[in-house]
Structure 1
Amino acid sequence: MERRAALKSMAMSAAGLLVLPAWANGWNKTSVVIDQPVLSGRQQAVLAEVVDTLIPASDTPGAKELRVQDFIQKMIEDCYEADVQKKVALGLDSLDTMARQTYGKDYAACEPAQRRELLLKVQALEDKEQKEYYNLLKQLTIQGYTTSEYVMVNHYKYTMMPGHYYGCVPVSQ
């Protein structure tokens, strides 16, 4: 009986290894399209600027350039419950309102230094819900940036199948 179980698990493992490349190659931009956006157009613009403020472009692309805001929206839509989705939407609205009260313009229209100052104010707030949504956005921004294709390939040197086999290599004595 143990031999049958071992053979069965080996066959399943082999089948999984054969199917894995086809499964991974199926990922593309259309596979992560947001069906019903949780955030409005204005909230999406604020989110894009928050992401850009948290990880701005330098000699490497910033989070906004790598479309991390799309990753965050997809994560919020698929992985979080309705109450968290509402908190994020309300948090982005309150950030936009805070920008209008402080600087007289929308958050997206603020200068980078003004946006950074507003985010520091949100971080220093006593309101637990405001801090929770901001910490969630920070966490998802970092996760989205560090797992983006650009960072994985150019900085982590990630390869789909490491350990390439080089046959016919001359051997020196």
Structure 2
Amino acid sequence: MIDRRTALAGVVAMFGAGLFAPIARAAGVAQSAGVPVISEGPPSAAVFSTAQRALMTALSERVIPTTDTPGAIAAGVPAYIEKLLADWSSPTERVPILAGLDAIEARSEQDYKVAAAKAKPDQQDALLTLAMNGELPSGKVFFEAFRQMVITGYYTSEIGMTQEREYLPVPGEYDGAFPYSKVNKVYSA
């Protein structure tokens, strides 16, 4: 079975030059002085307040929701994001994430009179769209980094590699005339 670090190296090609620095560091493509080697287990320090953690968890599920396959929460993406920010990022790299979560929270309170983590899914989608379009303070920077962390966390998790995609260590013989209509899942190796 492929491990998370090997999968992270594959994600680097997906995002190219615009890769969020802590993801690049975790994948081993960027070296940074002062950032310790990541350890197993929980984050070395809490990055989010309780409200920010709840919002980050809810928004992760909006980026990759549960459908016929498990979503971001089931894949452990929120814990991955906090671990990545705690152990692989500098305090300045956390600023846009924390500022973005705070801006989304403030806009939710203003527009919907409810905490963003408790907003309806369509309201959370609207808040993420505002961030994506740069209509919130720090929105674009937050959205791009957050989206990368969610996608990377999901597709390097066991669920992402084995349930969303189909793991075949040896995919079989080549068939150049295989009908596209019979393709069920994208394969990961």
Q: Name the TM-score, length of structure 1 as normaliser.
A: 0.70
Q: For the pair shown, which has the larger CA radius of gyration, 1 or 2?
A: 1
Aligned to 2:167, which of 154, 157, 173? Answer: 157
Return the offset for 1:153. 2.3
Return the offset for 1:60. 0.6
C-alpha change, 1:72 and 1:124, in structure 2 (3 Å) is same
**What is the rounded CA distance, in whole Å, between the counterparts of 1:42 and 1:114 in structure 2?**
17
**What is the rounded CA distance, in whole Å, between the counterparts of 2:124 and 2:136 in structure 1?**
19
**What is the rounded CA distance, in whole Å, between the counterparts of 1:117 and 1:73 in structure 2?**
24
1:103 is the counterpart of 2:112: yes
Residue of structure 1 equivalent to 2:97: 88
Residue of structure 2 equivalent to 1:56: 65
Q: In structure 1, the residue corresponding to 2:151 is in which secondary structure?
A: helix
Q: Give the structure with the larger helix fraction.
A: 1
- One-letter amino acid matched to 1:61: P
Give unpaired runs (5+ residues) of structure 1: 1-20, 22-29, 164-173
Return the offset for 1:35. 2.1
1:125 is the counterpart of 2:129: no
Aligned to 2:56, which of 25, 47, 50? Answer: 47
Superposed CA deviations along residues 80-116 of structure 1, whole A, max 9, x for unmatched, are 2111112211211111111110100001111111100
Give unpaired runs (5+ residues) of structure 2: 4-38, 172-189
Residue of structure 1 equivalent to 2:47: 38
Superposed CA deviations along residues 34-76 of structure 1, whole A, max 9, x for unmatched, are 1211111111001001101111101111101222011111111
Q: Name the TM-score, length of structure 2 as normaliser.
A: 0.64
**What is the rounded CA distance, in whole Å, between the counterparts of 2:168 and 2:88 in structure 1?**
26
Contact 1:152/1:158 (CA < 8 Å) preserved in 2?
Answer: no
- The structure showing larger relative contact order (alpha-carbon pairs under 8 Å, at least 6 residues apart) is 2
**What is the rounded CA distance, in whole Å, between the counterparts of 1:57 and 1:126 in structure 2?**
27
**What is the rounded CA distance, in whole Å, between the counterparts of 1:79 and 1:102 in structure 2?**
34
- One-letter amino acid matched to 1:139: Q
Contact 1:87/1:129 (CA < 8 Å) preserved in 2?
Answer: yes
Return the offset for 1:128. 7.6
**What is the rounded CA distance, in whole Å, between the counterparts of 2:116 and 2:91 in structure 1?**
25
Residue of structure 2 equivalent to 1:112: 121
Residue of structure 2 equivalent to 1:169: none
**What is the rounded CA distance, in whole Å, between the counterparts of 1:124 and 1:58 in structure 2?**
26
C-alpha change, 1:147 and 1:110, in structure 2 (3 Å) is same
Identity of aligned residues (%): 26
Residue of structure 1 equivalent to 2:27: none
Return the offset for 1:158. 5.4
Residue of structure 2 equivalent to 1:17: none
**What is the rounded CA distance, in whole Å, between the counterparts of 1:111 and 1:128 in structure 2?**
22
CA root-mean-square deviation:
2.2
